[in-house]
Amino acid sequence: MKKFLYLLLLAPVVLLASCIKEDYSDCERCTLTFSYTGDVTWDIFPEQITRVSLYVFNSEDRLVQTKLIEQNELKAFQGTKLNLEPGDYRIVGIGNSFNKTEVMNLSSTSMSEIQFHHPKADEGGKVEGNDSLYLGQKMITIPSDYWYEDDVPFRSSHLKVSYTVKDYVNPVAAESSTRADGFLELRVKNLLPQTDFTNKANGQKMTYDPVLTLKPEKGEHYGYFNIMRHAKDSDVEFELVDKATGEVVHTLLLADFLNQFPQIDVSKQEVLIPIIVEFKNIGVTVTIPDWMIHDVTPDYGKN
């Protein structure tokens, strides 16, 4: 019995030794971890990224392997292991690619031609917003004689937008729209709908149609959505439309808004663009939340 137990304990050691000393072909010798620090100095990957679609390209930038790492796997180990032959590779990971993300042109050998966007962006369908996307990249070299470990840093590929409308009253709209649907719809025009594997937003400009929900207890319409990362001087425009009449009741250029409120820095990684449009007797005013005016730093859950 003792001899049998000894053999059972010895078996895994023998297999491991075989993997190390004789044949590397079946070994996952490449261990990659994932990290994302955003605008802080510590890792906030678990708070922001819950899924990674991984793409492995060889030295000629040809796709040789793909892998999907789900949230339960990332909780157990914030990374993955790969079985790769010795050589040079480009690792690309898309964080949070769910049903609002589609990757195109994976057969291309140019990272600027591989794009990810909303599946309906090419179809002329209604696009309400993007996933909260992140992109990770790393060039690695797998040696022929030992295990390889490295980290893949991620960067943000999206901007968060919240859009609030206060005190909008229109008797015609009130009669022809239900309280649940609200009285207003929002169009976001001149948006770049896709991002390439160099993390640059591009493509033929289009209009998104984010959902605005009416909160009857507050008398507010509210929407929250993501767009690709745009520069401060972009020509993105927010157009507010009365559902019943089709009248455009307010327009706002993103560039004007960002110039008015320099607290919002779209060059940062974690950016919220919180637009508040309020209808008053004296006219329409645009502002941002009080907490942003007083420069409160977001809590990323540092331990």
pLDDT tens-place string over residues 46-58: 999 999 999 999 9
* pLDDT value of residue 19: 56
What are 226's two structure tokens?
């993501």
Q: Residue 200: helix, strand or coil by DSSP?
A: coil
* pLDDT value of residue 6: 40
The candidate with the shortest Cα–Cα distance to 49, out of 95, 99, 116, is 95
| Residues whose CB falls within 8 Å of the CB of residue 148, separated by 6 or more in sequence, listed in order | 29, 30, 31, 140, 141, 142
* pLDDT value of residue 17: 40
- Residue 143 or 28, more confident: 143
CB 57 within 8 A of CB 63: yes
Other residues' Cβ atoms within 10 Å of the Cβ of residue 118: 23
The pLDDT > 90 percentage for the chain reads: 76
As a whole number, mean pLDDT of residues 255-282 equals 96
As a whole number, mean pLDDT of residues 195-214 equals 96
Q: For residue range 94-118, what is the model confidence (pLDDT) as tens digits? A: 999 999 999 999 999 999 999 999 9
User: b or e along 182-196 (b: 16 or more beta carbons within 10 Å of the residue's beta carbon)?
Assistant: bbbbbebbebbbbbb
Indicate if the pLDDT at residue 24 is higher than 70. no
Return the residue matching tokens 């590397």. 24
pTM of structure = 0.87
* pLDDT value of residue 30: 97
Rounded CA separation 68/51 (Å): 8
Indicate if the pLDDT at residue 75 is higher than 90. yes
* pLDDT value of residue 302: 45
Rounded CA separation 263/249 (Å): 26
Q: For residue range 120-148, what is the model confidence (pLDDT) as tens digits? A: 998 778 999 999 999 999 999 999 888 99
In this prediction, residue 281 has a pLDDT band, given cuts at 50, 70 and 90, of confident
Rounded CA separation 72/199 (Å): 26
Average pLDDT, the chain: 88
In this prediction, residue 294 has a pLDDT band, given cuts at 50, 70 and 90, of low
Rounded CA separation 67/89 (Å): 15
User: In three state form, how does the secondary structure of 79-125 look?
Assistant: EEEECCCCEEEEEEEEECCCCCCEEECCCCCCCCCCEEECCCCCCCC
Indicate if the pLDDT at residue 26 is higher than 80. no
In this prediction, residue 211 has a pLDDT band, given cuts at 50, 70 and 90, of very high
Indicate if the pLDDT at residue 88 is higher than 60. yes
As a whole number, mean pLDDT of residues 149-166 equals 98
Rounded CA separation 34/153 (Å): 6
Indicate if the pLDDT at residue 18 is higher than 50. no
* pLDDT value of residue 172: 57
Pairing of strands 52-57, 63-69: antiparallel
